[in-house]
Amino acid sequence: MARAFNAMIEQVGRGLAALRLDKSTLESVLNHMSDALLILDPTGALAMINPPAERIFGAAAAQAIGRHPIEVFHHFELDELVRRVARERTAVRSELEVHYPEHRVLRVQGNPVLSQDGAFLGTVVVAQDITDLRRTDLVRQEFVANVSHELRTPLASLRALAETLQGGAVRDPEAGPRFMAHLVAEIDRLTLLVSDLLDLSAIESGSAPLRAEAASVEDIVDDIVAKFQLVADRRHISLRVEGLAGLPPVWGDEARLAQALSNLVDNAVKYSGDGGTVTVSGREQGDLIALTVADTGIGIPAEHLSRIFERFYRVDRSRSRALGGTGLGLSIVKHIATSLGGRIEVQSTEGRGSSFTLLVPRAPAGITARAPFGA
């Protein structure tokens, strides 16, 4: 008899221990899950709100318990959702926006809790934060809209030129070749745009894998200067290189780094007046190497500085078009900088010039740069 009693006590003890474990496990789960959770009793009052819910809705659990959701969250659609769950005793799903304390988009589901005999015991609401997801969708939509807009202009030009030629200009010995030349120039412009777009897309999506290698800045810049020398000479722009000798190698995809620097030098030359100076310089800055491309050109007005790295952003659209710009150069530079683990900075004075500094990580000690492509 005593043995049976002891056995029973042992069993109850184990049962209680298991319950305590379950309770603390439950608490742990509720506190550490990333989704917001609300539990309402059958009268519609809040019985529990977890930390993510406190954060998302800007409410403290201590003040919320016992109150109705509308009293705590002041959210009409959320209130409608929980009322519908209680009224129809069915799961309700919805996408809601929260505007306080911060703007967030939530995927919300409310479920009724029913006892075995169908009595209504309360409501459970789970909300998933999909703000970032929606933001990405928006960025993508905006990009597509931007691209369509940008393609429309050169295509319209092409059509106008072709129509003019069709209309008879093709037979005109003077105008004919001239219009043909315009046609070819527009096609080149379009090709460049598409090429930049593909580049940007590849960099942004990470589908073009980056090589991790030590790159010699001096060698890269020498190649770039050689590429732009002809154009610079024609406009009496002096291309200078300073402080690159003896710079430690940079850690990152050499081709991408070259592309970024090339875009910066291209801009510097484009927006420099005749007789100006473009200087490429470098220095160590802690763990980073700072590469600066400075020009004595028209400069960038202060109110545009924070936006120039946006896709297709132009300070002066007509000038940019005349100079053959796609509006993507700086965007590409920014993405390359980020993917190399660095950043891009700009300083500019209208009428005096601009200076763009690309900061990239230096190669770990002991790794030397290999010879650049084609060497």
Partner 1 sequence: MPTRETFDRDLHELQDDLLRMGALVEDAVRRSLEALRTRSETLAAEVIAADNQIDALHLELEDRCLRLMATQQPMAKDLRRIAAVWAMTIDLERMGDHAEDIARLTRRMAHEPLLKPLIDIPRMGDIVRMMLREGLDAFVQGDTELAERMAAKDDDVDHLFSQVFRELLTYMIEDPKSISRATHLLMVAQALERIGDHATNIAERVIYMVTGTLRELNV
> Closest CB to partner 1 among 174 and 303?
303
> Closest CB to partner 1 among 100 and 373?
100
Number of helical H runs and strand E runs in the chain:
11, 12
Least Å from the CB of residue 102 to partner 1:
13
> Closest CB to partner 1 among 108 and 161?
108
Quote the Cα angle for 269-274-275, to 5°.
100
Strands 277-285 and 238-242: parallel
Quick check: 293 and 220 in contact, CB under 8 A? no
Least Å from the CB of residue 185 to partner 1:
32
The CA distances from residue 282 to 247, 291, 292, 344, in Å, are 7, 4, 6, 14
> Closest CB to partner 1 among 75 and 107?
75
> Closest CB to partner 1 among 71 and 233?
71
DSSP notation for 23-37: HHHHHHHHHH-SSEE
Q: Interface residues with partner 1 (CB under 8 A)? A: 63, 67-68, 70-72, 74-76, 79, 99-100
Which of 280, 52, 324, 313 minimizes the C-alpha distance to 188?
A: 324
Neighbouring CB atoms inside 10 A of 300's CB total 20
DSSP bridge partners of 358: 291, 344
> Closest CB to partner 1 among 67 and 107?
67
Least Å from the CB of residue 71 to partner 1:
5
DSSP notation for 218-275: HHHHHHHHHHHHHHHHHTTPEEEEES-TTPPPEES-HHHHHHHHHHHHHHHHHTSPTT
